[in-house]
Every structure is written in C-alpha cells, then in structure tokens.
Amino acid sequence: MTAPRSYLQLTVSRSYSHLSPETPRWVIVAHILRPRGNKGEVAAELLTDFPDRLKALKEFFLAGGKSTPRSIQLKSFWLDANHPGFCVFHFEGTSSINDAEKLRGLEIQIPFEQRVTLPAGKYFVTDLIGCSVFELPSDPSPVSSSPCSLSEAPALLGSVRDVFFPGESQPGTPLLAVDTSLGELLIPLAEDICKRVDIATRRIEVLLPEGLRDPEKAE
C-alpha cells in the first residue's frame, strides 16, 4: 500500500472579501457575536489572518444583509487572550449593553483598498472562489502537429466553490472544493498540483495525480 503523499502547500489567508457585482469594495474582518461588558463593547469572531493591524485603524464600516455599510469610529480594540480567533471592539457612540445589542450579527468591514497585500504564493479565500480550474495533460506528447493541439490544451474541470481548511488537530493542506459536471472535486492547494494560480484572469491550472480525477475518490 502506498504511503500518503505530502505536498508543499501554497498559503491561503482566511480573510474574506465581500465582492460586489462590479468591483470588490469591502473586506470583512470580523463578525459581531454579542455584547461584551457593560460599557458598549462587543465580542466578535475574527475573519482575518492579520488581527494586529486592526489596532491601528480608526474607522470601520458596519453592515448586515444587503444594507449599505455605515462608518463608525473605533474607541478601542483587543484580542481575547482566552479565546483564540475572537476579539473585542468598542466603538464610539456605544456606551451601554443596549447600544451593543443593536450591533449583534453585523459584519465589521474595511474598504477593499485597505486590504493587506499578500506575498507571492499566498491568496485570499475569495480570490480563489469563482476561479475556473483547468486540468493540464498528465503526459503531453513531445511532438505535436500543431502548437495549439487540442490534445495538449488544458481541459476545463469546473470552478472553485469554496476552500476547506484542515482542523487545528489535523494539520494539512487546504483543499479547493471544485464544482464539476460529475460533482464536487477536492483538490489540494499544493505547488506540485496547482501549477498556475492566476488571480487576475481567475484561472487555476492543475496537474492531478492518479486518484484525484474521480470526485468520489477525492473525498
């Protein structure tokens, strides 16, 4: 029996962006859960890999559902030392539990232009979602009758619907959930599989090893 293969993974930021039909405008950095304390503070779930930079920002935008984001000034912010992945915001104009209760369920956003610039080989989740995935030929012929031979052209597999992360107790490679004509295909986001990731053209080219082409076997 062949041992499981380890992959050199690419890196994905867990930050999420709210994409408008035209151009991306907002980045969701946190989701307000409930009031925290009695002076208007709110507990929130972090949706960014860069929480420390939030301390330096003075203005945020709150939105819920399809409502237009509204500006709000930050009074204070700190990470919850007892609960990793969570934090506390205190905004100007909120000074009681009742004020904080009105913010329950809202998204905390920043303008897209303030999004962190990622280094090469690292991607935001929402940069990957919606990308078309093409399969490269596994054994391209060294001789072709035409530079544009269809036998060597990448074949469209489908589009990325989501990105799955391994659990904290199960370290591993993130998986691209690709919707194909045969069902969902899970593809490791690894350098030796995802040969080309072009966010500008919304295109990912993959070289699938044996056993990953069948969606049922990829689970």
| Domains of the chain: residue spans and CATH | 16-114 (2.40.30.60), 129-139+147-206 (2.30.30.240)
Burial 133-150 (b: 16+ CB within 10 A, else e): bbbeeeeeeeeeeeeeee
Give the residues across from 87 on adjacent strands: 44, 79
Q: Hey, is 54 helix, strand or coil?
A: helix
User: Do the bridges between strand 122-124 and strand 11-13 make them parallel or antiparallel, or are there none, so unpaired?
Assistant: parallel
- pLDDT of amino acid 17: 45
CA gap 93, 60 in Å, rounded? 13
pLDDT, one tens digit per residue, over 138-153 is 765 554 445 545 556 7
DSSP 8-class letter at 151: G
Confidence of residue 3 (pLDDT cuts 50, 70, 90): very low
Torsion of CA 112, 118, 32, 54, to 10 degrees: -90
- Kindly give the residue spans of alpha helices, DSSP state H, lying in the chain: 97-101, 125-128
Q: What angle (nearest 5°) sits at the alpha carbon of residue 33, between those of residues 29 and 38?
A: 115
Q: Which of 151, 109, 155, 161 is nearest to 131 (CA)?
A: 161
The per-residue pLDDT of the chain, averaged, comes to: 82
- Nearby residues of 6 by Cβ (< 8 Å), 6 or more positions away: none
Q: Does residue 40 contact residue 100 with C-beta atoms inside 8 Å?
A: yes
Cα–Cα dist 47/50, whole Å = 9
Structural contact between residues 183 and 216, judged by C-beta atoms closer than 8 angstroms: yes
Of residues 210 and 30, more confidently modeled = 30
Q: How confident is the model at residue 18 (pLDDT cuts 50, 70, 90)?
A: very low
Output the CA torsion sign for 62, 70, 48, 23. positive
Q: What is the largest CA-CA distance in the chain?
A: 75
Q: If DSSP codes are grouped into helix, strand and coil, which group holds residue 56? A: helix
SS3 state of residue 176: strand
| 128 pLDDT above the threshold of 50 | yes
- The whole-number average pLDDT for the span 156-175 is 80
More confident residue, 97 or 113: 97
Structure tokens of 201? 């053209």
